[in-house]
Amino acid sequence: MSEYITQQLVDDFRRDGVVCVRNVFSEHWIEKVIEGIDRNLENPSPYSERLANDGEMGAFFNDYCNSRSIPEFQEYVYQSPAAEISAILMDSMHSVFYHEHVLIKEAGANKLTPWHHDQAYYPINGFKNCSIWMPLDSVPIESTVEFAAASHLDNKWYKPRKFATHLNYNTHDNEVCDTNEYIDVPSDRYIRENYRILRFSVEPGDCIVFHMRTLHGAPGNLSQTTSRRVLSTRCDLDDDVLLIILSFLDFVDKVRTERVCRRWRDLLSYMLSLQTCLYFSDKNDFDVELCCPVTEPNAKTTEVLELSKLITFDYLLVLGDNELSEWDEAAENIMNGAIKKCPNLKRIGLIDYLRLESPIRLICDNCHHSLEAIDLIGFRKISITVSDMKRIGEKYPNLSYIRVVSSNLVIAEECLKTLFQSCQHLKSFVVHSDLIYPPSWTEWGRSGHYNRINGDCYAYMSDTIREIRTDIKIMDNSGLLSLSASKGGPNLTTLDLSGGTWDGWWFQIIAQGLPKLQVLRCSKVSVFSSDDLEDIALISELKQLRELFLDLSTKSLVLFLDDVVYGLMQGCSQMNRFELFNAILTD
């Protein structure tokens, strides 16, 4: 830090986009600049402008880009503390001078300077920049420049306006030089209502430093005696060129050289953020639109890429670029890094990584122990080995769900057993694949839904399965659906639905898909309505309906129960056992 600038000022500048630095320019510099301005007034350049309202005494004079012809300005630019102040506040090693700008409001000049930000007026890109506003006369608080605090962080570009008429410059006919979208400067009222307005009364020797995207404006000079003379100088860093140069580093070097200095780190992390497509979401939900693609450089995504924020995410969906002809090592590295930084991750989905062959290994290497669900979708080829499954079991004791959708799957026969043995909480293992190797799997079919039943056993359902065990336990609707769609399903005689979670329409699935069902257990199944019971009557072969728990707290159901049971008995003519567990039935 220098003698003029404290860390507090640097932080303020970053946050508000404007700071007032007191007592930095000595008498020497003030006199120098005054001499320069007098010289400027004598020989105004063709750029100069003199504005006054009709009938008003004062004028508003402004001129710029004279630092080469006015030696006093040149001295000020290169030798005064201005350069150092701007570099420190911009957090940069170097500052590059752009131009000086003389603004004079003569006594009584009542010209307002409309709200605007400077950068839109200039062919300047990049965020590390500032203007230094150095007054040469005291400026009382009533007539000093006003700033909309933190408006530089809005990531908005406002159309430049003419100071004389307050109208926008005509930018339509000009060739557009950048891709920024320019919008109208908001109204004075809007700015005052939505931003903290900062103003500083300043004395000669002080200066106000502001970011070139900070909105600011000035009221007219009400004081009738002193003119207000100000020299404003602008600094900008040529980040564009450095960005191009650094873009030629390979991925590892980009990450490695982040430590060189702050400017490099900023540029490199910006670049890295553009390189891959990661979707993050804190919603446990597959709606991709809710997620946030890092490829769009908006404020939210840069925040996300500050990676420290990832700690809060419990769901990470990583979308590969399926147009990439080969798996990009860089993308893999970024992904690994990002995943490692999500310690609370519960669910991970890798989608459309056509070339990645061992996603399980990638996940085991990077995901923390909290993981509960894994989704692998859109792979060209996946190999799953027994040791992969063992690792998953060891590392993720809470895993309850795995889904693999791949056009080509190599999976060892023992995998399934290992998986269910090592992951005690695993409820479902779902596979969809066009080709499964080795061939013994092929017999089982292209897609399967494996569910845990009673401890270590598992049930397998697919479209080609011939025989099915009689004591199948299913936990949710999708399991039920794949069961009823399987070839063995129609022959199933015993089904246990205990403790599963169900949506209302599940009895219809059973009635249509499992017509030969004879024994149905449904303890701890709480979602029931009279409609459900009517649907049960459709299972014509049903002999035993056991442990049925009816929540009969609603009177209507009690009233209808007789009818329902009668209907049930009518529909299921073979019914010989009907266990109904319910305390309230005594009513």
Binding site for another protein (CB under 8 A): 91, 93, 238, 240-241, 244-250, 252-253, 255-262, 264-265, 307, 333, 336-337, 340, 365
266 three-state secondary structure: helix
**Smallest distance, another protein to C-beta of residue 216, A:** 27
User: Which residue number, 335 or 474, has a Cβ lying nearer to another protein?
Assistant: 335
Closest CA to 410 of 442, 367, 378: 442
DSSP secondary structure code for residue 161 in this structure: B
Closest CA to 268 of 248, 243, 302: 243
**Smallest distance, another protein to C-beta of residue 177, A:** 11
Query: What is the spatial order of strands in the sheet that 197-199 belongs to?
Result: 113-116, 216-218, 146-148, 197-199
DSSP secondary structure code for residue 158 in this structure: E
The DSSP bridge pattern shows strands 457-462 and 472-473 to be unpaired
User: Which residue number, 183 or 260, has a Cβ lying nearer to another protein?
Assistant: 260
User: Which residue number, 307 or 561, has a Cβ lying nearer to another protein?
Assistant: 307
User: Which residue number, 176 or 241, has a Cβ lying nearer to another protein?
Assistant: 241
**Smallest distance, another protein to C-beta of residue 43, A:** 21
Q: How far apart are CA 75 and CA 496, in angstroms?
A: 89
DSSP secondary structure code for residue 302 in this structure: H
**Smallest distance, another protein to C-beta of residue 2, A:** 13
User: Which residue number, 201 or 257, has a Cβ lying nearer to another protein?
Assistant: 257
User: Which residue number, 89 or 509, has a Cβ lying nearer to another protein?
Assistant: 89
Q: Before 81, cis peptide (omega within 30)?
A: no
**Smallest distance, another protein to C-beta of residue 401, A:** 27
Closest CA to 23 of 209, 205, 232, 207: 205
The DSSP bridge pattern shows strands 279-281 and 146-148 to be unpaired
User: Which residue number, 126 or 490, has a Cβ lying nearer to another protein?
Assistant: 126
User: Which residue number, 272 or 564, has a Cβ lying nearer to another protein?
Assistant: 272
**Smallest distance, another protein to C-beta of residue 337, A:** 5
Q: Any alpha helices (H) in 248-377, and if so which ranges?
A: 251-256, 262-275, 299-305, 329-340, 359-366
User: Which residue number, 312 or 470, has a Cβ lying nearer to another protein?
Assistant: 312
User: Which residue number, 183 or 245, has a Cβ lying nearer to another protein?
Assistant: 245
347 three-state secondary structure: strand
Bridge partners of 405?
377, 432
Q: How far apart are CA 409 and CA 435, in angstroms?
A: 6
**Cβ 519 vs Cβ 578: under 8 Å:** no
DSSP-derived secondary structure for 60-112: EEEEE--TTT-HHHHHHHHHSTHHHHHHHHHT-S---EEEEEEEEE-TT--PP
213 three-state secondary structure: coil
**Smallest distance, another protein to C-beta of residue 551, A:** 52
**Smallest distance, another protein to C-beta of residue 333, A:** 6
**Smallest distance, another protein to C-beta of residue 209, A:** 18
**Smallest distance, another protein to C-beta of residue 340, A:** 6
